[in-house]
Amino acid sequence: MQTSYWKLQKNSENKEAMEQAAALIKAGEVVSFPTETVYGLGADGLNQTAVAKIFAAKGRPNDNPLILHIAQKEAITPLTTGLNANAQKLIEHFWPGPLTLIVNKSSIVPDAVSAGLETVAVRFPSNKFAQDFIRACGCPIAAPSANISGRPSPTNAQDVLEDMQGKIAGMLDGGSCGIGLESTVVDTTEPVPTILRPGGITYEMLTEVMGAVEIDPALQGDKNFKPKAPGMKYRHYAPKAPVYLFEGEACQKLPEVIAKALAAGKTVGVLCGRALERELAELAEEQQLQLACWGDSREQLAADLFYLLRDFDRTQPDVILAEGVDESGIGLAIMNRLRKAAGYQLITLQNGSLHLKNSATLPEFMIQ
Ligand code: TXA
Ligand code: MG
C-alpha cells in the first residue's frame, strides 16, 4: 500500500491535507496523526472494518481496547450511557488535554473498539492538528499509539513511518509531540477515580481537583494484580537490548557498574540526566559507551524518552542501563514506562550492595 504523506503547517488550517486525510478515513482507511502526547493511528471509530485495520497494522492483540478521540466535549454524549459527577468534573478541568476517561459505553461503540468490555476510553486531545483532523472526519477517531505493538510509541513522523510505511493509507506530519508520553487513563466508573495509566495529567493535578484518587496497584509490577487497562499487561516500550533500571540510591553505583561492563568488553547504552553525564565525561570517550542524556528536566526526559529508547535500537548496544527519577509529578509516568521498558529488571541498593528485584542473580558486571 502507498502511504500518502502531508506536512502540516503551523498557523494554517491545512485545508487540503485535512480534507484528503478525512476522505481516506471516510473510505474506511487508517491515517496517522499527531497529538500532544504521541502519534496516533486513526480510523473511523464507529466502523468495525476500519477499526480492524488498525489492529492488523500494529499487530495488536484483539483483547486490547482503543481510545476514541473527539474534538469537542459534547461529542462524548452519544458514546456513553451516562457520565457521573466525577467524569463531568474531570472533563470540565482537564479537557482538552492528555487525559483519557473510561466511561460506560453506549451501543453505538463497536465491540472491536472496546475489546468486548462494557466500558470505552474517550479523549479530547489539545493538539490543534488533531482537533482539525477529527473535525474534518466528522466521527470519533479510534486511535492507539502509532507503533508496532510492543515498540516505544512514536513522537515524530519519522518514527511513525519506520513502523507503518506501506501499512497505512496516510500520514499527517505535525512535527514533534510536546509531552512525549501517552495520556493519563482514569477509570471513572468506580466510586473513586482510579489511574490505570499515569501520564501528563499527574496524580497531584488530579487529587487537587478531585480529592481522593487511586492508582491501579498493578502499576507497581506486582504479579498478584491484573492491570485494569488491558494494554498495561503487555511488554511495551522495550528496546531490543536488555534494559536495567537503577532506582533510588542504586544510581550512585552507575559509574562503577558502567566501568566494569566496559572492562568486560560490553557495548553499553546509558540513559541518564545531566549530572551523571558530567560524571561520565571521561568514560564517554570510550567507543563502547553510548550516552543518551535527556538534559536538565524531567519534562525533557518525558519528551525525549521514547525517541531515545528507539535510538538504542538503531545502535544496538549489548546492554542498556537507565537512571531512575523520583516519582512525583510526571516522574510517576516516566518510571512506569521505564519499568516496562526494563521488563521489570529493577536494580536497588540494599545494605550497600546492588539487588535485582524478583531475582537472586545479578549480571556479572554488577557484582562488586
Ligand atoms: O496519548 C494517548 O493516549 C495516545 C494518543 C494517540 O491519543 N493513545 C494511546 O493509545 O496511547 P493506546 O491504545 O496505545 O493505549 C490505550 C490504553 C491501553 O493501555 C488500553 O488497554 C487502555 O488504554 N484502555 C482502552 N480502553 C479501555 C477500557 N475500556 N478499560 C480500560 N483500559 C482501556
Ligand atoms: Mg500504545
Give me the amino acid identity at 112.
Answer: A
Q: Is 160 in the pocket of ligand 1 (CB under 6 A)?
A: no
How far apart are the CA of 121 and the centre of ligand 1, in A?
Answer: 7
pLDDT at position 239 is 85
pLDDT at position 234 is 65
How far apart are the CA of 281 and the centre of ligand 2, in A?
Answer: 35
**Average pLDDT of 69-79?**
98
User: Which residue in 119, 21, 26 sits closest to 66, CA to CA?
Assistant: 119
Assess whether pLDDT exceeds 70 at residue 168.
yes
Residue pLDDT, tens place only, 78-137: 999 999 999 999 999 999 999 999 999 999 999 999 999 999 999 999 999 999 999 999
Residue pLDDT, tens place only, 232-263: 776 677 788 999 999 999 999 999 999 999 99
Residue pLDDT, tens place only, 21-65: 999 999 999 999 999 999 999 999 999 999 999 999 999 999 999
pLDDT band at residue 365 under the 50/70/90 scheme: confident
Q: What is the DSSP string of 58-106?
A: HT--TTS--EEE-SSGGGGGGGBS---HHHHHHHHHH-SSSEEEEEEBP
pLDDT at position 233 is 72
User: Which residue in 324, 309, 305, 320 sits closest to 250, CA to CA?
Assistant: 324
- How many whole angstroms from its chain centre is CA 136? 26
User: Which residue in 49, 107, 101 sits closest to 78, CA to CA?
Assistant: 107
How far apart are the CA of 66 and the centre of ligand 1, in A?
Answer: 5
- Burial of 34 per CB tally in 10 Å (0-12, 13-18, 19+): buried
pLDDT at position 268 is 95
pLDDT at position 201 is 98
User: Which residue in 141, 259, 121, 117 sits closest to 199, CA to CA?
Assistant: 121
**Residue nearest atom 22 in ligand 1 by C-alpha distance:** 229
- State what percent of residues in the chain have pLDDT above 90: 83
pLDDT at position 88 is 98
Question: Which ligand sits nearest to residue 152's alpha carbon?
Answer: 2
Q: What is the DSSP string of 10-63?
A: TTS--HHHHHHHHHHHHTT--EEE--SSS-EEEEETT-HHHHHHHHHHHT--TT
Are 39 and 160 within 8 A, CB to CB? yes
CA–CA separation, 280 vs 351, rounded Å? Answer: 25
Name the residue with cell 536497588.
348
| Residue among 30, 35, 54, 67 to mutate when testing ligand 1 (max atoms within 8 A of CB) | 67
Are 154 and 132 within 8 A, CB to CB? no
Biggest CA-to-CA distance, the chain: 63
- State what percent of residues in the chain have pLDDT above 70: 99
Average pLDDT, the chain: 94
| Residue among 62, 113, 133, 145 to mutate when testing ligand 1 (max atoms within 8 A of CB) | 145
pTM above 0.85, yes or no: yes
